[in-house]
Amino acid sequence: MKSKITMINIVLVTIAAIASVLSAYDIVPLSDSLLIGLRWLALAGLIIYAILKKNLTTSILISMLVGTEIGYDFPKMGTELHFLRQIFLQMIKTVIAPLLFATLVTGIAGHSDLKQVGRMGWKSLLYFEVVTTFALVIGLLFANWFKPGVGIIPPETLNAALPKVNQQTWQEIVLHSFPENIAKSIYHGEVLQIVVFSVLFGISLALLPAGKKEKFVHGVELLAEVMFKFTKIIMYFAPIGVGAAIAETVGHMGIDVLKNLALLLATLYCALIVFILVVFVPVAMIARIPVIKFAKAIFEPVSIAFATTSSESALPKAMEKMEKFGVPRQIVSFVMPTGYSFNLDGSTLYLALATVFVAQATGTEMSVGQQLTMVLLLMLTSKGVAGIPRATLVILLGAIANFGMPEWPVLLIMGIDELMDMARTSVNVTGNCLATAVIARWEGELDDQKMHDSDKVVDIPAASEV
């Protein structure tokens, strides 16, 4: 049955694609209604295939195609579907704090190996700093090579509001890492503060007598299991949320949005691709991590991050995937949340690129020394960037304020920021997934058998099994 549906889908997609190409180049003019009908017929076949296959990856891919088509054919409807994306993001955000707390406390107190926590801490920070430095340097090189901001003339009507940004000292940035009220940290989604609280709580619990500690650890382990089940239920809504996010983007900005600020967009994508090939792939090879299997393992969380432009939305799925990939839970639960504050490779590369873009657009001369100073500043200010859409714009405005540059080019960037955010957020998630595997290998705890069998593991069970 599935093979027949697959063949039918291939035929329908081929017909729709050929018809669209022939009409686009005026070889065989066809009416818009006929083209829309052919495309939706092909999509209907793909939707039926996804329902029968019952696979989350397939469903997400097809939902992205459906969302693109809705945004293209019915832009008003596409923009009105934003509430579905927000529902998905809000449900995910409810999971973040209890999941981080439960997994971190279990990983620290459950194993009672505080020395390992210390080892993982300095190894993770060392790895994060090396990789993010590479990201910043590559961002600078591409900005100076492509020069995407040179020759830009500011539009006459530039009335959009920018968020107010106050310059922060390094003392204030460090202070912001520590929670004053854990409920307030959870409410504002301050991942780093939740991590600091959970680590200190876990260490404190580990210092209790064994009898008292085990009772609490058992309860926290149950909480972790419940939150992973909670995540699986939410993931059934992921295709709808992802499809709505794509529909909103295309409906709001149009399918030909790449024509606006295309050079800046191309520069970012080229820089990120080079970063992946020059940094991620060699790191994976050095750590003896099979690149293809790793890519398959992280495809779902990365695709969620790409569509929603939110690292947080992919966090629960990414943690689950890396555990299935052979990384022990105590390492996943420590390294990945920490990486969400210290290892946002895509965002740091973007920040270096965007800051030079602003300098070029405003005619501000930046010497090599000033650019290196900027790199050091961004290395500090990019830590603790919230894993939510458009958070890097606030950091960018802060960096611009530090160098006294005009802010109007940021308004231009905002026009294509969603497309840029898709790429940099995907790299953020990829980098944090890779970091967990690298630290696990460094600790000698990466399960090679589990890793090599990871692509044989079934993802989402039937609804009756949840």
Q: Check whether 455 has a pLDDT greater than 80.
A: no
Q: Check whether 158 has a pLDDT greater than 50.
A: no
What's the whole-number average pLDDT of the chain? 79
CA distance 240 to 7: 25
Is pLDDT larger for residue 160 or for residue 80?
80
> Which distant-in-sequence residues (6+ apart) come within 8 Å of 138 by Cβ?
271, 274, 275, 278, 279, 349
Q: Check whether 383 has a pLDDT greater than 60.
A: no
Residue 157's φ and ψ, nearest 5 degrees, are: -105, 105
- Residue 337 has a pLDDT of 78
The DSSP line for 73-106 is H-HHHHHHTHHHHHHHHHHHHHHHHHHHHHHHHH
The full set of domains in the chain, from first to last, is 2-79 (no CATH), 82-465 (1.10.3860.10)
The residue-averaged pLDDT of 304-316 equals: 81
Is pLDDT larger for residue 398 or for residue 75?
75
Is the distance from CB of 329 to CB of 107 less than 8 angstroms?
yes
The residue-averaged pLDDT of 103-131 equals: 78
Indicate the SS3 state at residue 433. helix
- Residue 391 has a pLDDT of 54
The residue-averaged pLDDT of 341-351 equals: 83
Q: Residue 53 has which token pair?
A: 């296959």
Output the CA torsion sign for 163, 169, 172, 173: positive
Is the distance from CB of 360 to CB of 149 less than 8 angstroms?
yes
> Which distant-in-sequence residues (6+ apart) come within 8 Å of 241 by Cβ?
84, 85, 87, 88, 89, 307, 308, 313
Question: H/E element holding 162?
Answer: none
The residue-averaged pLDDT of 130-142 equals: 91
Tens of pLDDT, residue by residue over 409-446, are: 776 676 567 678 888 889 999 999 999 999 999 999 99
- Residue 159 has a pLDDT of 45
> Which distant-in-sequence residues (6+ apart) come within 8 Å of 441 by Cβ?
287, 288, 289
Q: Check whether 380 has a pLDDT greater than 80.
A: no
Of 382, 313, 377, 371, the C-alpha closest to 347 is 382
pTM of the model: 0.67
Is the distance from CB of 312 to CB of 189 less than 8 angstroms?
yes
- What's the alpha-carbon Rg for the chain, to the nearest Å? 23
- Residue 388 has a pLDDT of 46
The residue-averaged pLDDT of 110-127 equals: 76
Q: What is the DSSP letter of 463?
A: G
Tens of pLDDT, residue by residue over 13-68, are: 888 888 877 777 777 777 878 888 888 888 888 888 888 887 777 787 788 888 88
The residue-averaged pLDDT of 272-300 equals: 94
- Residue 191 has a pLDDT of 67
Is the distance from CB of 364 to CB of 157 less than 8 angstroms?
no
